[in-house]
Amino acid sequence: MLPTYARYPLTLVKGEGSWLWDDAGNRYLDFMSGIAVTNLGHAPARIKEALLQQLDQLWHVSNLFHIPNQADAAKLLTDNSCGDAVFFCNSGAEANEAAIKLARRYQQLVQNNGRYEIITFEQSFHGRTLATLTATGQAKVKEGFAPLPEGFKYIAYNDIAALETAVSDKTAAIMLELVQAEGGIHPVDQTYIQQVADLCQREGILLIVDEIQTGIGRTGKLFAYEHFGIEPDIFTLAKGLGSGFPVGAMVAKEKLREGFGAGSHGSTFGGTPIATAVVKATLETIVGDGLSDRAAAQGEYLMSQLREKLSGASFVKEVRGLGLLVGIECTGPVADVITEAQKRGLLVITAGPNVVRLLPNLLVTNEEIDEAVAILAELLSAR
Ligand X SMILES: *Cc1c(COP(=O)(O)O)cnc(C)c1O
Q: Which residues bind ligand X (CB under 6 A)?
A: 91-93, 96, 125-127, 177, 181-182, 210, 212-213, 238-239
Q: In the bound complex, which residue of the shown chain has the CB atom lying closest to ligand X? A: 92
Compare residues 290 and 353 and give the one whose CB is closer to ligand X.
353
Compare residues 125 and 235 and give the one whose CB is closer to ligand X.
125
Contact 325, 364 (CB under 8 A): no
Instruction: From 184, 181, 252, 256, select the one nearest 212 (Cα to Cα).
Output: 181
CB of 308 to ligand X, least distance (A): 29
CB of 324 to ligand X, least distance (A): 14
Q: Which amino acid is at 216?
A: I
Within 10 Å of residue 160's Cβ, how many Cβ atoms?
A: 17
Compare residues 106 and 121 and give the one whose CB is closer to ligand X.
121
Tell me the pairing of strands 27-30 and 19-22. antiparallel
CB of 191 to ligand X, least distance (A): 22
CB of 31 to ligand X, least distance (A): 17
CB of 202 to ligand X, least distance (A): 26
Q: What is the rounded distance in angstroms from the CA atom of residue 256 to the CA atom of residue 85?
A: 8
Contact 98, 126 (CB under 8 A): no
Contact 176, 140 (CB under 8 A): no
Compare residues 35 and 287 and give the one whose CB is closer to ligand X.
35
CA dihedral angle for residue 361, residue 339, residue 330, residue 350, rounded to 10 degrees: -50
Tell me the pairing of strands 85-89 and 248-252. antiparallel
Compare residues 3 and 288 and give the one whose CB is closer to ligand X.
3
CB of 281 to ligand X, least distance (A): 20
Sequence-ordered list of residues with C-beta below 8 angstroms from that of 221, at least 6 positions apart, any chain: 227, 292, 296, 323
Q: Which amino acid is at 79?
A: D
CB of 19 to ligand X, least distance (A): 23
3-state helix, strand, coil in the chain (%, to 5): 40, 20, 40
Cis amide linkage into residue 147, ω under 30° from 0: yes
CB of 246 to ligand X, least distance (A): 8
Helix (H) or strand (E) run with residue 70 in it: helix 68-79
Compare residues 95 and 310 and give the one whose CB is closer to ligand X.
95
| Upper half-sphere CA count for residue 82 (Cβ side, 13 Å) | 17
Compare residues 182 and 329 and give the one whose CB is closer to ligand X.
182
Please tell me whether residue 295 adopts helix, strand or coil conformation.
Answer: helix
Q: What is the largest CA-CA distance in the chain?
A: 61
CB of 208 to ligand X, least distance (A): 11
Instruction: From 318, 321, 319, 279, select the one nearest 296 (Cα to Cα).
Output: 321
Compare residues 106 and 235 and give the one whose CB is closer to ligand X.
235
Compare residues 127 and 352 and give the one whose CB is closer to ligand X.
127
Tell me the Cα Rg of the chain: 21
